[in-house]
């Protein structure tokens, strides 16, 4: 019979010592990780007033007003780079019954690095940072839509920024309706002082109305797709002039729209495009922002679907349009911003007038 040595083998002692050291290290890492988990909060609050005195056929006169709050709480870990958050988004239009709307639920993961920032889940739309013309997103989108269901990815380097997003807007299994949007925006900084910019923004919006709605005569198309894009070049002279802001960009804004009448019929795309320019100058909070568009109206299916399909300002249906904002804005303590503006919409039908005021608060830890 084989006899085992009473002396403990040296190699086994080395292995056990290494294993014990690894357990000690793992325990210390675990303790450090647990102790590094910190409470975090992120709150967006705001109020808005938009009194549109319109007489043209492009928009109906109306007053939009309300307040919203999007509080989220959670945990920050991994040296502060990672967060898991949960909360609600509540909107209360002025003059309507309090708490008549069901709040949106928020739950998301966020990573913030030196160059890359990413979000996934149900997250605040206020975290979008890209520049989008009002041809793509109207002021009303900022008033009433405060959540994004999907993902938001952002890169920021020394020579530019890129933002990509996916937003699943709605889904109704009973009616077959669903909608989602995928888009991106970016800028490239050029020149020694990075005064010059090349930029673009765009998205594809997919709206499935469903065969049931077509059968019941509620819509002529069971599915509608809309692509919006804005390509531009600009110059930012804010750093080389006495003004706080001096920005000019010129480019092309356009759309591709189609309505499918049957599952096996892809439908034809209707392209629209026009020249787009924007000038913004500001000094000590007082500013002028002027936006000019000339081309074919960007929303060929507007009379059928309106804002169900088109997220941009309806004035971009006009072949010639100019918007002038005379405004005052102020940012206090990095967390509070106020803006008041007199807005003039000029088309071939005349001049429409609008007064706007917004207040935004952002608190975070």
Domain coordinates of the chain in residue numbers? Answer: 40-364
Alpha helices for the chain (secondary structure H): 10-36, 139-144, 211-215, 302-305
pLDDT, one tens digit per residue, over 27-75 is 444 444 555 899 999 999 999 999 999 999 999 999 999 999 999 999 9
Helix, strand, coil percentages for the chain (3-state, nearest 5)? 15, 55, 30
pLDDT (0 to 100) of residue 263: 54
In this predicted structure, the answer to whether residue 182 has a pLDDT above a threshold of 90 is yes
CA distance 239 to 243: 8
pLDDT (0 to 100) of residue 290: 99
Give the chain's mean pLDDT: 89
Could you please state the CATH topology (level 3) that the domain comprising 40-364 is classified under.
Porin (2.40.160)
Provide the pLDDT confidence category of residue 262 given band limits of 50, 70 and 90. Answer: low
In this predicted structure, the answer to whether residue 14 has a pLDDT above a threshold of 50 is no
Cα–Cα distances in angstroms (integers) from residue 188 to residues 97, 152, 234, 238, in the given order:
47, 19, 10, 17
Helix (H, G, I), strand (E, B) or coil at 206: strand
Rounded to an integer, the average pLDDT of 130-157 is 97
pLDDT, one tens digit per residue, over 299-316 is 999 998 999 999 999 999
pTM above 0.95, yes or no: no
Rounded to an integer, the average pLDDT of 172-192 is 89
């Amino acid at each position: 019979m084989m006899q085992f040595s009473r002396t403990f083998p040296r190699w086994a002692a080395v292995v056990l010592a290494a294993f014990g050291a690894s357990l000690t290290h793992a325990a210390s890492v675990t303790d450090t990780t647990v102790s590094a988990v910190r409470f975090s909060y992120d709150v967006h609050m705001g109020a808005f007033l938009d009194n549109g005195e319109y007489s043209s056929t492009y928009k109906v006169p109306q007053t939009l007003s309300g307040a919203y709050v999007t509080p989220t709480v959670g945990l920050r870990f991994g040296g502060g780079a990672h967060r898991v958050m949960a909360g609600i988004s509540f909107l209360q239009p002025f003059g309507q019954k309090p708490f008549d709307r069901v709040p949106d639920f928020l739950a998301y993961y966020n990573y913030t690095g030196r160059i890359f920032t990413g979000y996934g889940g149900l997250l605040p739309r206020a975290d979008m940072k890209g520049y989008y013309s009002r041809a793509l997103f109207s002021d009303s989108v900022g008033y009433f839509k405060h959540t994004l269901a999907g993902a938001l990815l952002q890169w920021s380097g020394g020579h530019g920024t890129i933002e990509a997003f996916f937003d699943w807007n709605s889904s109704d299994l009973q009616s077959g309706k669903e909608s989602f949007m995928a888009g991106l925006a970016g800028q490239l900084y050029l020149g020694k002082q990075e005064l010059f910019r090349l930029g673009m923004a765009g998205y594809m919006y997919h709206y499935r109305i469903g065969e049931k709605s077509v059968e019941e005569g509620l819509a002529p198309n069971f599915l509608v797709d809309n692509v919006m894009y804005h390509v531009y070049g600009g110059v930012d002279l804010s750093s080389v002039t006495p003004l706080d802001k001096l920005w000019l960009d010129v480019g092309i804004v356009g759309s591709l729209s189609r309505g499918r009448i049957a599952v096996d019929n892809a439908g034809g795309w209707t392209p629209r495009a026009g020249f787009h320019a924007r000038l913004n100058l500001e000094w000590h909070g007082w500013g002028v922002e002027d936006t000019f568009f000339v081309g074919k109206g960007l929303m060929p299916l507007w009379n059928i679907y309106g804002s169900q399909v088109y997220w941009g300002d309806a004035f971009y249906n006009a072949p010639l349009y100019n918007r002038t904002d005379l405004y005052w804005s102020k940012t206090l303590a990095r967390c509070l911003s106020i803006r008041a503006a007199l807005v003039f919409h000029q088309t071939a039908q005349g001049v429409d007038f609008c007064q706007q005021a917004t207040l935004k608060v952002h608190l975070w830890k």
